[in-house]
Structure formats: C-alpha cells, structure tokens
Amino acid sequence: MTTNPAPTGSGRTRQGPRPLWQRSAIIMAAIAALLFVIEAIDVATDYRLDDAGIEPRQVDGLDGILWAPFLHADWQHLFANLIPGLVLGFLLLMAKRFVIVTAIVWVVSGLGVWLFAPPYTVTVGASGIIFGWLTFLLIRGLFNRDLWQILGGLVLFLIYGSVLWGVLPSGSGVSWQGHLFGALGGVLAAWYLADRDRRRKATTTNPQFPGVAS
C-alpha cells in the first residue's frame, strides 16, 4: 500500500451560482414547459383534466383553487396567458418576491372565483395569478416609497395597463371574478410586504432590550 500526497487543486474551476436573471429565466421556462405538458395531456384525454377546476360554492370544488392555474380551456387560452405570464413572472423573480406574492394571489383569486363565479361553471386558467402579478408590480413602489419601482410600474402600465379592463364584468365567458380578485390579491401582497419590510427595518434600526431605554 502506498500513500500519495493529496492533489493541491482539481482540474476544474469551481463556478459560482448562476446570475439571478439566468435562474429566473430557467424557472419561468420550466413553468412554461410544465403547462405545455399538462395541456397536452388535457387535450389527449378530451379535456377531462379541466373538470378539476374551481366549482363555485361547492365544497368538493375547493381543491380546484389549487389546480385551476395549471389548467387551460385550450391551446389558445394557454398562449394568451403564457406571454404576459412569462414576462411578469420573470420580473417578480428578479424582485425576489415570487413565492409569497404568488401564494397570496393564488389564494385570493381562487377564493374570489369560488365565492362569486356563476353557479354550475368550472373555472380554469392562470389569468387570475397574472393579474395579481401585474398589480403587485404596478403599485409596490407606492407602498415602498421607492422612486425606481414607481417608474418601473409606470413603464409596465404603459405596456400592460389595458388588460386591467379585464377586471370588469363581462359576458364573454371570461372569469372576470378571477381577474378582479387576482388584482386585489396583488394589491394585498404589495401592502403586506411593504409593511413587513418596514417593521423589520425598524426593528433592526432600533432594537429593544429589556431594561434599556431607547
């Protein structure tokens, strides 16, 4: 048995983590791929997956809140949501607010549909979440009192502001309830995160210790 000295270095250079924009793009590409796979299965099964959408005011339809954003009525419906969804989701990931904003919007939008959508309907689609992402990005600068975020929101409004008409009632078979409550969820998320960040900053700036006057 012989003992050799340990190598002083490997032949490979250790790479650091990918830049945030690359990670954000990869995540959104993975989400898009997942939606394509689900829609392909939906089409292959004669759209039976859509039955798992939100059924208003039916207890057994509550779980549709979880599944509905993954389901779409057809390919046209998916593509209509995909393009703005990729852009807004990417921006949200870059802002490092994707998970909590999506969770708030997902629940608020889904509950709004479950409570107020017409009876004997099944609602599917990710547009409620997209509306929530949009309103969050539009107004977060106001809650954060951040000039650059406000300017970014104005630019975004010039590009996508017209879609906000979708929160108004319509008879076109579009779930305006999902759009409206998704948008409200985005506002709620913007307020909550701004308030939470201010509280954390205040706690860090002015720590309180028992028995010590501030």
Beta bridge partners of 123: 54
Contact 149, 140 (CB under 8 A): yes
Dihedrals phi, psi of 12, to nearest 5 degrees: -110, 145
pLDDT tens figures, 136-189: 999 999 999 999 999 999 999 999 999 999 898 877 778 999 999 999 999 999
In the block, which residue shows the tokens 């593509």? 79
Q: Which amino acid is at 150?
A: I
- Least confident window among 2-16, 114-128, 157-171: 2-16
Dig out the tokens for 32 from the structure: 């898009």
Contact 144, 194 (CB under 8 A): yes
Task: Tell me the whole-structure pTM to 2 decimals.
Answer: 0.87
Dig out the tokens for 9 from the structure: 């270095």
Q: Among residues 118, 102, 115, which one has the least CA distance to residue 182? A: 102
**Percent above pLDDT 90 for the chain:** 77
Residue 91, Cα to own-chain centre: how many angstroms?
A: 10
Task: For each of the domains in the chain, give its residue range(s) and CATH number, in order of start.
Answer: 20-200 (1.20.1540.10)
With left for phi above 0 and alpha for psi between -120 and 50, is residue 10 left, alpha or beta? beta
**Environment class of residue 133 by beta-carbon count within 10 Å: exposed (0-12), middle (13-18) or buried (19+)?**
buried
